[in-house]
Amino acid sequence: MKRQTLLLIAIVLLGLNLRPVLAAIGPLLDRIQLDTGLDHVGASLLTSLPVVIMGLGALAAGLLRKRLGERNGILFGVLLIALACLVRGLLPDSSTLIITALLAGAGIAFVQALLPGLIKSRFPTDSGRLIGFYSCAIMGGAAFGAALTPWLAQSIGWSWALASWALPALLAAAYWRRAAPHEALAQADNVAHLDVWRSPRAWLLMSFFGIGTAGYTLVLAWLPPYYTSLGWSAQYSGLLLAALTLCEVVAGLLASSLLPRYPDRRVLLAVVLLALLAGLLGLMLAPLQLVVPICMLLGVGIGALFPLSLVVAQDHLDDPRQTGDLLAFVQGGGYLIAATAPLLAGLLRQYTDNLRLSWMAMAAATLVLMLMASRFTPDSGQFRTRPLRVA
């Protein structure tokens, strides 16, 4: 098998392991809270804390790349994910869940901070679509986590159901160790440093990614508990999240495949943002009567928006190292923004027992995203309306 094909398979396997540790929590949240005594705010931390660590890890991508290299850093990250899952089976209490959330977040951060730059360097002519497909693998992993974990919990208990996701993480680590290019460790010293912190454009891209990803983290954490509060079982609420995530995967793949036809990304962004807004309105107004169209609309909106946000950012630059720096900044700050969504929803549920207010807030944020997306005007096929400063 060709080296490039092995690397593509490894990238997909890595992506599949970046979300089960988060998506598996939602469908079991009521049961976990009952057994551990976690309140709604504490439960929200099981999603928010990993996302915070993901953001901090992305901001430290340059340091990680320098100290560990891409190959070893990614391997270490996926092993941390496996360890976090395993510990949840051995010590199923509230403190362990919080600690392993931090540990898993660190593992995810290592992989997400280093892998996009590697994709850009190894596949320079098709990096946009490959980043899109990698994003779809991430969402596919969330679908597996949401669908399978509640059913496993019926047989082996929720703690070992969460721990079972250590197995695919170990498989991905073993495969990555075989397929990862050793030359990914080599770094060019003559590349100009990208000063993202003083670039208004970089801040715009980061905010856009963060607010969009907030919709993903909000749904990931609180959609299953929302439907269990409406009378659904944990198994069926998990299947709903899995179905929604599968819609996200299809939407992400479709959006990624359409990228060459739409150099003006605003066309695709308008469609997916309208779908996201319509899905959120459905959750607020008729969650039970419109559950199927809600699932499809949210899936299209969230699923296509995630890869499009990354592609819009990477469109700005050609150099792999600078692209890695920009994507690290965009994801780092973006994930810090996104981490607030589950936490704020937990606070609202703690004091109002009403998640509809959270869907309403996200709908308002989607209107802000529409305004931001209107600024992504193309310039010779790339978004360079205001060039990023290079120091």
pLDDT in tens, the chain (391 residues): 577 788 888 999 999 999 999 989 988 888 899 999 888 888 888 988 999 998 888 788 778 778 888 889 899 999 999 999 999 999 989 999 999 999 999 999 889 888 877 887 788 777 767 877 787 888 889 889 988 999 999 999 999 999 999 999 999 999 999 888 775 444 444 555 667 777 888 899 999 999 999 999 999 889 999 999 999 998 899 899 889 988 988 898 888 788 878 888 889 999 999 999 999 999 999 999 999 999 999 999 998 998 889 888 877 766 666 777 788 888 889 999 999 999 999 888 888 878 899 999 999 999 999 999 988 877 633 434 344 444 4
Distance CA 130, CA 246 (A): 18
Show the domains of the chain with their CATH numbers. 1-178 (1.20.1250.20), 197-377 (1.20.1250.20)
226, 314, 221, 309: which is closest to 272 by C-alpha?
Answer: 309
Cα 306-373-293 angle, rounded to 5 deg: 55
Beta bridge partners of 390: 194
DSSP secondary structure string for all residues of 30-42? HHHHHHH---HHH
Contact between residue 119 and residue 11 where contact means Cβ atoms under 8 Å apart: yes
Nearest to 55 by CA among 340, 247, 375: 340
pTM of the model: 0.80
125 touches 203 (CB < 8 A)? no
Helix (H, G, I), strand (E, B) or coil at 181: coil
Q: Are 310 and 327 in contact (CB under 8 A)?
A: yes
> Please, which residues have CB within 8 angstroms of residue 52's CB and are 6 or more apart in sequence?
105, 335, 336, 339
Amino acid type, 237: S
How far CA 3 is from CA of 9, 10, 58, 174, 246, in Å, comes to 10, 11, 27, 16, 29
Q: How many CB atoms lie within 10 A of CB 386?
A: 14
Query: Treating both helix axes as pointing N-terminal to C-terminal, what angle do 200-229 and 40-59 enclose, rounded to 10 degrees?
Result: 150
Under a CB-based contact definition with an 8 Å cutoff, are residues 143 and 110 in contact?
A: no
Integer Rg of the chain from CA: 20
How many of the other CB atoms lie within 10 Å of CB of 68? Answer: 17
Report the Cα 349 to chain-centroid distance in Å. Answer: 23
Q: Which long-range contacts (CB under 8 A, 24 or more apart) does 355-364 make?
A: 355/222, 355/225, 355/226, 355/229, 356/283, 356/284, 358/218, 358/222, 359/280, 359/283, 359/284, 360/280, 360/284, 362/214, 362/215, 362/218, 362/280, 363/277, 363/280, 363/281, 363/284
